[in-house]
Structure 1
Amino acid sequence: MKHSGAADLPLYGGSIPAWLFDRMTTLGLAIVESIILEKGQEDFLRRLSDPFWFQSFGAVIGMDWNSSGVTTAVMSALKKSINPRSKALGLFVCGGKGKHSLQTPNELLRVGEATGLDGNYLANCSKLSAKVDNTAIQDGFQLYLHSFVVSAKGDWTVVQQGMKAQDSTARRYHWHSASIQSFLDEPHSGICGIHQGEILNLVDHAAQPAQISMTNIAQENPDKILHEIRHLKMPMHFDVRAKDVDLKRLGSVLWLAQETQVRDFEDLLLLKGMGPRTLQSLALVSEVINGTPTRFSDPARFSFAHGGKSGRPFAVPLAVYDETIATLTTSVEKAKIGQSDKFQALKKLSQIAQASEENFKVTENPEQEFAKVIAKERADSWRYGGKTIHGESKPLDGAQLELF
C-alpha cells in the first residue's frame, strides 16, 4: 500500500486564457489516448495518482510550472476532453472545482447506470476521500476542488486540493483505488502541499490505536502520528532556476532536438524534417507518456516543452504547440488503425534522450548555460508565435536581451 507524501504548492491567482486552455484540452487528450493505447486505462489512472507525474503533466501542457493552478487546469481540461469520448476511452471524469465538486456523487451514480458499476459504492468512495482530507487530516487546508476519475472497469483515482488563504498555499491530495485497503489506514497515493511540520493524520497506519481509543472514548490522548514519506516540494519562487531542473536530463533533450541528430538515428527517420524546436517539445511530451515514476522528480523540466501562460520560463510558443498537437494526434489516430510507425518513433525520442544522459556532460558553469537556454527561448519566442496572459511576444533588441 502506498503511503502519504507532501509537497509545496504556491497559491497563484489568475484565469487560463481560452487560446491556451483549448490547446491544453487537445494535447491533454492526445497524451491520454497515447497512454491508453500503449498501456491501458489503469496505467493512466496510476500516473494521475502520482503527484510528481501530475505536476509534470501540467507543466508540459503549458501551465505555470509550480502553481497550484495546475490542478484546476489539468482536471478541467481532462473533463472537457475525456467525457465526450468516455465510451471509447473507457474513462469518466466527475466533479471539479467549487460547486462542481458537490455534484460528484450524482455524476458517479450516472456513471454506474451507464457502465453497470456500483454507483453507490463509487459515490461513497468520493465522499469518504473528501471527508478524510477535510476532517480526519487536520492540516489547516480546506478543500475547494474534488475530482474523481473512474474507468469502465471500476478502477479510480481521486485528485483534490485544499487551500490555506492566510499564507497563500495549497495542498493537493491523491488517491488511487489500487493502493487502498481501507479508508482508515494510509489510503493516499500522495499528498502535495506546503510542508509545515507534523500534522494530525487520523488515517495513518500508525494511528490505528488512536482510532480505537477515540471510538471507545478513551481518556488518553493519541500520540503524534505523522511520519514523512514522499515529499514533492515545489519552490515558492516564480522563475524556473537551474537548481529546479535535472540539467543532464534537460541537456540531453536539447542535444537530441536537432535535425542533425535525427538524421543520425535510424529509429527517428520518420521525424526527419520536423523543426528542432518541435522535437524538443515532443521529446518531453513523449517522456510524460512513456517515462517511469523516477523520471518526474523535476517537474520544472517539462515547462521547456511549451513554456507557461505567465511567461515563465518563457512565453507559450503557439506555432510549436500546434505542431506538437498535430504530430501527436496524427500518430495516435494512425496507430489505432495499425499504422504505428510514427507513434513508435515518438516513443523512441524520449528513449534515446534518456540513453544519452549517461554520457552527457554538464558544463562547469551550469547556471550560466541554463540562463542562455532561457534567453534564447525568449529571444526566439516571437518566431514561434509566443504568447502569454500579457500579450504576444515581440522581437527583443540588444538592451532587452541583456536583462536576461
Structure 2
Amino acid sequence: MTQRSGSADLPLHGGRVPKWLGDRMTRLGAVLCQAIIHHYGRDELLRRLAHPFWFQSFGAVMGMDWHSSGITTSVIGALKRGLTPLSGELGIHVCGGRGAHSRKTPHELEMIGERVGFDGAALATASRLVAKVDSAAVQDGFDLYLHGFIVTDDSRWVVVQQGMNGDRRQARRYHWLSEGLKSFVDQPHTAIEGERQGEIVNLTDHRAEASRSGQLDLLRQLGPDRIVHEFAAIEPAATEAKRDSAQPMLPNLVMPAHHDVRESDIVMRRLHGNISAAIESGPTDFPELLLVPGVGARTVRALAMVAEVVHGAPCRFSDPARFSLAHGGKDRHPFPVPLKVYDETIAVMKSAVAKAKLGREEELAALQRLDGQARRLERYVTGPSLKEIVAGEFDQSHLLGGRSVFGPEPPPASPAQPLPAASPKRSG
C-alpha cells in the first residue's frame, strides 16, 4: 500500500473492552500481523497501519465497535500486548498508548534502542515532534489523548494518534509513516481522519511554508507584544479579503453515528462473495482450513474476511462495516461476538502461521486462495439481504457462544432458521 491522504468521521465512544474480547483481540491481532509479515514483510505491515481505511477494517474484524473511535485505542492496546512477546522474532515494537502511556513513549523508544541497536534518542525526538505537530501545528479543535508508535529494528516507523473534541462528541485519528517522510512540518501525514468542522489551521500544509517563515521573522523582528497589536489591527481586513485556499477533495471515510450496520454501510457484492466462497467452496476446495476440529462453513466465512485483511488491496477497505460480519461486535452490532467461531479463527490462523515457519505453506496458501475465490465469486453471485444475514446470526448466536457486553446470548424466542446461502446467479 502506498501513502495516501484521507479523512473520516469517528463518533467518540467511551467504555472499556471486556477481558474476554481483549484477550482474543490480542491473539488474533498478533497472528494477523505475523501472517502479513510472512507474506509481505514488516514494511508492508507499517504501510497498512498507516492506512486509515485498513486500520478501521482491522479493528472491525476483531469484534470492536465497527464505527467508533474505540477501535484506535483497542487495536493499539491489542498489538502492544500481542506483539511485545514476539518483538525479538519479528523485529517490531509497539510503544505508547492512551493517556499516561502516551507520555512514556520517548522513554520506551530509548530503552528499545539500547537493546536492539537503533538510535532511540532520535526516534524519541520524532515521537515528540509528531505529537507537537498534531497538537499545535494542526489546530483543528481536537486534543490528543492517544499516541501509538510502532517501530521496526531498522528504525522504520508508523504513528497512529488520536484526539477528541468532547463538545462535539467526535474523535480524529492521525496517521504518520516514516517511509517517504522528508519534513515534519510540510505535509507529513499519510491521513487525517475526522469530521469537517469549519476552518482548520494547518501549518503543515505545503502552502503554509511562507506563513511558517513569516511567523519566525515576525517573532524575531517585532516580539510577541507588537505581534498582538498588529494582529488586532489587521484581523477585520483579513477576514474580508480571505483568499480561496480550498484543498482538493480527499478520500473521505464517513463513520456514521448509528450503531447498527446497514446495507448502505456495506458493499453487498463483496459480502456475498465472502459468504459464497465459504458456503459453496470452503468445505470442498479448502480442506486444509477444516483440519482444526469443529471448523465449518461459518468459520470459513470469517476466515474469508480475515484473509482479505491479510491480502486485500487498499480499495477493498472502503466499507469497514463489512468486516464486522466476521466476528460481530461487543455491543451486539451487527450481532453478538460468536466466541466459538472467533476461537476457531484464531486456531486456524495460529496453525497456519506455525506451519509456515517450518516451510509448510499449505494452510496459509489456502487462506490466500480463499480470498481470491471470494473476489472472483463477487462478480456474479447474489445472496440474502443484510437483514436476513443478521437475523440468521442472531438465531444461531446461542449455539456459537454469542456474547456481548450485556452477557451471553440466550436462545431466541422462535426456532432457529438456517442462514440463506449465497446463490451463484448472475445479477442483471
Aligned pair 1:384/2:400, yes or no?
Answer: yes
Give the C-alpha shift of residue 231 in structure 1: 1.7
Report the equivalent of 1:262.
282
CA deviation map 1:275-314 (0-9, x unaligned): 1110111000010011111110000000001000000000
* Alignment partner, residue 12 of structure 2: 11
Give the aligned partner of residue 371 of structure 1. Answer: 387
Q: Cα gap change, 1:236/1:399 in structure 2, threshold over 3 Å: closer, same or farther? A: farther
SS of 1:166's equivalent? coil
Aligned with residue 288 of structure 1, among 290, 309, 314: 309
**Counterpart in 2 of 1:158?**
159
Distance of aligned partners of 1:308 and 1:159 in 2 relative to their CA distance in 1, 3 Å threshold? same
CA offsets per residue over residues 244-270 of structure 1, 9 Å max, x none?
A: 000000011111111x423553xx232
Partner of 2:268 in structure 1? Answer: 247
Map of 2:50 onto structure 1: 49
Of 218-227 and 377-386, more deviation after overlay is shown by 218-227
Deviations 1:179-213 (A, max 9, x none): 31111111001111122243111001121122122
Q: Distance in 2 between matches of 1:49 and 1:316?
A: 27
> How far apart in 2 are the matches of 1:356 and 1:251?
8
Q: Secondary structure at the match of 2:218?
A: coil
How far did 1:400 drift? 11
* Match in the other structure for 1:306: 327
Q: So what's the TM-score if we normalise by structure 1?
A: 0.93
Map residues 173-252 of structure 1 onto 2, 5 A cutoff: 173-217=174-218, 225=245, 227=247, 228-252=249-273
Q: Deviations over 1:133-173 (max 9, x none)?
A: 11111110000000100000111000000000111110000
Note the alpha carbon deviations across 1:88-108, whole angstroms, 9 max, x for none.
Answer: 010011111000100001111
Residue 324 of structure 2: SS of its match in structure 1? helix
Task: Please say which structure displays the higher CA radius of gyration.
Answer: 2
Which 10-residue stretch deviates more, 75-84 or 225-234?
Answer: 225-234
AA partner of residue 394 (structure 2): R
Distance 1:302 1:19 in 2: 20
2:396/2:416 contact within 8 Å kept: no
User: Structure 1 40/226 Cα, relative in aligned 2: closer, same or farther at 3 Å?
Assistant: farther
Question: What secondary structure, in the 3-state scheme, does the structure 2 residue paired with 1:150 have?
Answer: strand
How has the CA–CA distance of structure 1 residues 198 and 174 changed in structure 2, closer, same or farther, with 3 Å as cutoff?
same
| 2:150 alignment partner, SS class | strand
Amino acid at match of 1:97: R
SS of residue matched to 1:167: coil
Map Cα deviations across residues 366-397 of structure 1 (whole Å, 9 max, x no partner): xxx21111111111100100000001111111
Does residue 1:359 correspond to 2:380, yes or no? yes
Unaligned 5+ runs, structure 1: 364-368
Partner of 1:104: 105
% of aligned pairs identical? 46
Q: What's the counterpart of residue 340 of structure 2?
A: 319
- Displacement, 1:12? 1.1
Superposition deviation, residue 2 in structure 1: 4.3
Alignment length, in residue pairs? 393
1:395 to 402, 407, 411: 411
Give the letter for the 2:397 counterpart: S
Query: Which structure 2 segments of 5+ residues have no match?
Result: 220-229, 418-428
Distance 1:184 1:67 in 2: 29
Q: Is the 8 A contact 2:60 2:323 kept in 1?
A: yes
Report the aligned-residue RMSD.
Answer: 1.9
Q: 1:31-62: CA deviations, max 9, x gaps?
A: 00000111111000000000000000000011
Distance 1:389 1:276 in 2: 26
In the TM superposition, residue 214 of structure 1 has moved relative to its aligned partner by 1.5
